């Protein structure tokens, strides 16, 4: 049981390049999330997916797109990277719809630098 | 909309001393409350959570937190801090929909 996995762990991009961050979970969770973490700003929600086939914008969606490929996988795409997108990106999942849950399980993160 | 405030950006305590990290939330109904810990270079890990019932909840690694509705607080405590507790701690509030709002975090430094 690997939990939540993310690839790659590190990435350096040039301004204007595109890339996709991959996330997969093996806990059969309904919901998945993408966050970015910047110093002193905590975690900010980029996009989330409450269930397979649905996605919704979070707090900071501009410049990003997502795909919920199936129940296990949720990818984040940067179409044209900008230096402001330099950050650490975390994927998380949770089991929702059940009283007393909503605990989020996090991946190890992707450290992205845009030059 | 829900929100979380962690008033202390950075706290330093001596090993063996007690610890209290503050968290205040804003939410119209009964909240789902969480504390997560993040070690350097790692993702977040759940320490404890409160949904209902006893307002004093126990978590992993000897941590506990107390929900005080009248003060809109959910402070994290530990009686005796160990050097391995040095990390960043996040309080979060949820509405039961899965989405949570996180505070900005408190960095804990432990002095030998």
Give per-residue pLDDT as tens, A15-62. 999 999 999 999 999 889 999 999 878 899 999 998 888 999 988 999
Per-residue confidence (pLDDT) for residue A24, from 0 to 100? 97
Chain A nearest C-alpha distance from B5 (Å): 11
For the segment A76-91, the average pLDDT, to the nearest whole number, is 96
Per-residue confidence (pLDDT) for residue B82, from 0 to 100? 96
Per-residue confidence (pLDDT) for residue A90, from 0 to 100? 96
In this complex, do A107 and B103 lie within 8 Å of one another by their Cβ atoms?
no
| Cβ–Cβ pairs < 8 A, chains A and B | 59
Per-residue confidence (pLDDT) for residue B98, from 0 to 100? 67
Given pLDDT bands bounded at 50, 70 and 90, which one contains residue A100? very low
Residue from B28, B3, B31, B13 nearest B104 by CA: B3
In this complex, do A4 and B43 lie within 8 Å of one another by their Cβ atoms?
yes
Neighbours of A67 (CB within 10 A): 14
Q: Does residue A2 have a pLDDT over 70?
A: yes
Residue-wise pLDDT for B57-82, tens only, equals 999 999 999 999 999 999 999 999 99
Over pLDDT 70: what percentage of chain A? Answer: 95
Are B107 and B88 in contact, with CB atoms under 8 Å apart? Answer: yes
Rounded Cα distance between A50 and A30, Å, is: 6
The shortest CB-CB distance from B98 to any of A31, A43, A106 is to A31
For the segment A60-66, the average pLDDT, to the nearest whole number, is 96
Per-residue confidence (pLDDT) for residue A85, from 0 to 100? 97
Tokens of A91: 């994927």
Query: What is the per-residue DSSP string for A6-44?
Result: EE-SEEEE-TT--EEEEEEESS--SEEEEEEE-TTS-EE
Rounded to the nearest 10°, the torsion over CA A39, B49, A35, B102 is -50
- The residue ranges of chain B whose pLDDT is under 70 are 96-98
Q: Is the dihedral of CA A75, A93, B78, B9 positive or negative?
A: positive
Are A110 and A10 in contact, with CB atoms under 8 Å apart? Answer: yes
Q: Tokens 């990818």 — which residue?
A: A75
- Identify any residues that bridge with B34 across adjacent strands, giving them in sequence order: B49, B92
């Amino acid at each position: 049981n690997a939990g939540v996995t993310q690839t790659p762990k590190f990435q350096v991009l040039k301004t204007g390049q595109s890339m996709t961050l991959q996330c997969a979970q093996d806990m059969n969770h309904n919901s998945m999330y993408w966050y970015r973490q910047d110093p002193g700003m905590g975690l900010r929600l980029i996009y989330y997916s409450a269930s397979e086939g649905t996605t919704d914008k979070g707090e900071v969606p501009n410049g990003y797109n997502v795909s919920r490929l199936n129940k296990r996988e949720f990818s984040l795409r940067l179409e044209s990277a900008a230096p402001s997108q330099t950050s650490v990106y975390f994927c998380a999942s949770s089991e929702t719809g059940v009283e007393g849950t909503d605990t989020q399980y996090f991946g190890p993160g992707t450290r992205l630098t845009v030059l | 909309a829900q929100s979380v405030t962690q008033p202390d950006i950075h706290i330093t305590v001596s090993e063996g001393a007690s610890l209290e990290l503050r968290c205040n939330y804003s939410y119209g109904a009964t909240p789902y409350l969480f504390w997560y810990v993040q070690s350097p270079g790692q993702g977040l890990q759940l320490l404890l959570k409160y949904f209902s019932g006893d307002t004093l909840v126990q978590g992993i690694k000897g941590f506990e937190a107390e929900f005080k509705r009248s003060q809109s607080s959910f402070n994290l405590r530990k009686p005796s801090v160990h050097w391995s507790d040095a990390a960043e701690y996040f309080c979060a509030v949820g509405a039961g929909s899965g989405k949570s709002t996180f505070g900005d975090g408190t960095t804990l430094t432990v002095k030998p």
